[in-house]
Chain A
Amino acid sequence: MADTSTPNATSGSWALEARGLGKRYRRGWALRDCSFRIPAGRICGLVGPNGAGKSTLLGLATRQVQPTTGELRVFGVPVDDPAVMPTFAFLGQEKPLFKRFTVAETLRMGAELNPGWDAVAAERIVRSGNVPPHARVGTLSGGQRTRVAFALAFGKRPDLLLLDEPMSDLDPLARDEMSTLLMAEAVERGTTVVMSSHMLTELEDMCDYLLVVAEGRIRMAGDADALVPAHALVTGVTRDGALPPELDLHTVVETRLQGRQFQAMIRPKGPLPTDWETAEPSLEEVLLAHLRSPDAPSLYTQGARVEAEGTQAA
């Protein structure tokens, strides 16, 4: 997997590539100065608190929202070019479907509107969930409806699948079933998946690439395998009730004082004092630390950063 993190300079190997991307609504910037790259073939988690700009980012990638600044490319093609439409599929939070259509009609819609429709795959997904093809979508259970929405998305044979909190309204059983389905289909076809989620454990299980967004800016981007080891969770003794000055030699994400002790999430830039207790944090701990401190310096692993205008130093 490690070699996929830095594809060659040809932009076709990047599923998504943003340069100085920004979107401003009447209330202010929802997303600002975003420059990042997501390599093709990865399962990328899009993490951030509510209102961080995740949905805006997915909206920009699916042409639902037009950027105020910057540009976004999907497999090297500018997103405002209609040629990108067949290359991606999108599954929104609400998973909207025509409620009066039958399942078969919903799949027919997929066939009518998409040039590269894969009827066999779509039908297999529906069939394996025992969804009756002549039932109206409005009469299906939440899990069944999600399955139909997945069938519609995979039937399109997308190279990039964008998911906005796909599992949020599913019961644990259906969630497990859909995750398995998603991973199986994505791996089989080499589909790049970008999914936003609140479920940190879900991300830990499924994603090998991460994009962390907070307050409309990118906080972290890169390989999950590289992002976590870049951090250390250190515990030490405070000096006169304050943080020790040695801490300033490293990039500090978050600190916490507890009596005579301090605990800090840092990105070490050199050897750490021996009297500090060092632990490798879990992905969840790293993510939470970053989400709690949106002012911490952002981190990009190699390749994830776009050398362009509007990027801030790590």
Chain B
Amino acid sequence: MTINIDQANQKAIDAFMEARPVLVGVAKVMDVIPGMHENLFLHAGPPVTWERMSGPVRGAMIGAIFLEGKAKSVEEAEAILKSGQIEFAPCHHYDSTGPMAGVMSPSMMVYIVENTTTGYKAFSGLNEGRGKVLRMGAYSEEVINRMKWLNEVLGPAVDRALKEMGGLDIRTLLAKALHMGDDGHNRLDAASLLYTNFLAPYIIKTATDLTQASEVVKFLGENALSILNPVMAGCKTMTQAGHNIEGSTIVTVMARNGTDWGIRVSGLGDRWFTAPSPKVKSLYFPGFGEDDACPDIGDSVITETAGIGGFAMATAPALVTFIGGTPRDAINTTLDMYEITFGEHKHFNIPFLDFRGTPTGVDIRKVVETNMSPRVNTGVAHKDPGVGQVGAGVVSAPMKCFEDALVAFAEKFEI
């Protein structure tokens, strides 16, 4: 049977848009992620070995070893990680997405987001806020203590609240936040406040300790990225719904690990197409510069894959203060992304562009044809383990991923 690419792509992005991600609860990685085992640590991006692993991922792995109680010193932790005792795998191989280093180890708590249209579940960790955090490769005592508090206090409190309220519709919340100046990736100020606002009554209602409940609500409300992880898991359920459609050239995964950039394409199964991860064009925090930066990293680009984030930048002009540029640049970024996407989103739209749907479904044909790759807004981690975030900026995906995928597509379908 000959394929019809346009029809296949329409099917893929329809599935993206029909997905109804609902945040249903919080649970331990070990208990909910299928195939997880005691010595499996997940990380962002495509597969990578310890030898090639970037500083932030190594740092987060060390932090995870500490959190799992497997070692007490950095040397000890590195020895274990180097020894081969720990299996490394991409989050995406286990229905998960992790921001920045994206490290997930067995005892961490994760959000569970279910696409109620298909029943598919995706997972993502609890957001630690900004600054020195595990996802940026930091592993100091302060970092580990916060991780423990998230696991022991925030996670259970949010889980109780979610169960009490019967789940939270991520798609509706995102659609609303896009009209409040969020892009759904780097700017989630509005979405995080909405999230806190929805959860707070239920957190209090189901509280076992009101002081803790107050701390949890305060933490969620003050962290402008509180909802980043549920959003990423939600986007994962959307793009996964459009994966594995015969003859589709739509990108269903984009991810990076600080070493490589990788994509997966709907019609090409679970094969990764990778290229060296580029440096981010960034504004740096005081005291840091380009030489300190790790190349582009993290699974959060799943938001752009689903049609928001950098692709919806026209609706989030305030973002330009964070990454440099003018509001016009934000609009032009979105307009550029229409050139490389197959469709426009039915549920996410942009008031400034007459409520036009966001550019949805990166089409490898269009990327190669226009020689223009997806643009992503992103945080920048220090290249060394243990330091943390040093800046934020913009990056374009390496063309090679898309070119290789196009060639593979032509081979597979004998075009």
Report if A and B associate in a common complex: no
Residues of chain B touching chain A, judged by Cβ–Cβ distance below 8 Å, are none
